[in-house]
Structure 1
Amino acid sequence: MNTSFITNIFATVILAIVLYFFLPILASDLPNQLSAAVGVLVGGLFVPALLKLFSSANSSSDNDGTSEVSTLYVGNLPYRADEEAVQEHFEQQGNVVSVRLMKDRRTGKRKGYGFVEMHPKGAAKAIKNLNDSTFQERTLKVRLAKEKIEEE
């Protein structure tokens, strides 16, 4: 399940409980069942909007105002290197979004290349500092990945 969906439900339930107890105090002639229904309705309408507002504000501050991601091709990787080791190596240059190391479908062994997604500033720094550098006794080739062309 999507974590934002669970967060929305949790926040809606909390708001319904709060309104269940406080609406009868504010409007003494309002039954508890109606105040609970109003709480669920208000929570269902306002909570997703508020969470979206807060999450967009947090995500823009986390990555310097850019939501773009650059994909780097990383070649000549050691076959023993795993995603975690590659991520740690590239995080010295900037924020790493994801690491995908390619494997042979038949054997499951790594092919010696992969892709690292980073924010553009970190990607530029990684290309500059890590291309032709040594990683686990291999000389890495780091460059911007070419866009995948989809065939129809």
Structure 2
Amino acid sequence: MTIYVGNLSFQASEDDLKDVFTEYGDVVRVSLPIDRETGRKRGFAFVEMANEANEELAISELDGAEWLGRELRVNKARPRENNNRRNTSFSRNPL
């Protein structure tokens, strides 16, 4: 399971997130997406922990907690929805 962490401060780093989640168990991976166009952080992250029970505890303890001046939204990450934005094809529609 992967944890979604939303409403993050743009000052938060991967190391900061790892420090916070390590209080609940071993952190396997932290991903802090960057906007391709602006190069800025997108305000959310994904955290993967080694133990699902620790993930559940982290979610229950951190959801709604204030961190770096923001109220965190922490929950189970949902699988990416298959959208066809990248595969959009345009066709001419004669009048």
- TM class, shorter-length: 0.7 to 0.9
Show the counterpart of 1:140. Answer: 72
TM-score w.r.t. length of structure 1: 0.52
CA-CA distance at 1:136 after TM superposition: 1.0
Relative to total residues, which structure has the larger helix share, 1 or 2?
1
Which one has a bigger Cα radius of gyration? 1
Q: What stretches of structure 2 of length at least 5 have no aligned partner? A: 85-95
Compute the RMSD of aligned alpha carbons: 1.4
> How far apart, CA to CA, are the structure 2 residues paired with 1:92 and 1:135?
14
Structure with greater proportional strand content: 2
Instruction: Give the number of equivalent residue pairs.
Output: 83
Amino acid at match of 1:91: T
Please report how far the alpha carbon of residue 114 of structure 1 lies from its aligned counterpart in structure 2 after TM superposition.
Answer: 0.9
- Alpha carbons 1:96, 1:116 under 8 Å: kept: yes
Q: TM-score, normalised by structure 2?
A: 0.81
The residue type equivalent to 1:123 in the other structure is E
1:127 counterpart (55, 59, 80): 59
Q: What is the SS of the residue equivalent to 2:21?
A: helix
Give the C-alpha shift of residue 150 in structure 1. 4.6
> Which residue in 2 is equivalent to 1:90?
21
Gaps of 5+ in 1: 1-69
Paired residues of 1:72 and 1:117 also in contact (CA < 8 A) = yes
Distance 1:143 1:85 in 2: 18
Q: Report if the CA contact (8 A) 1:94-1:121 is conserved.
A: no
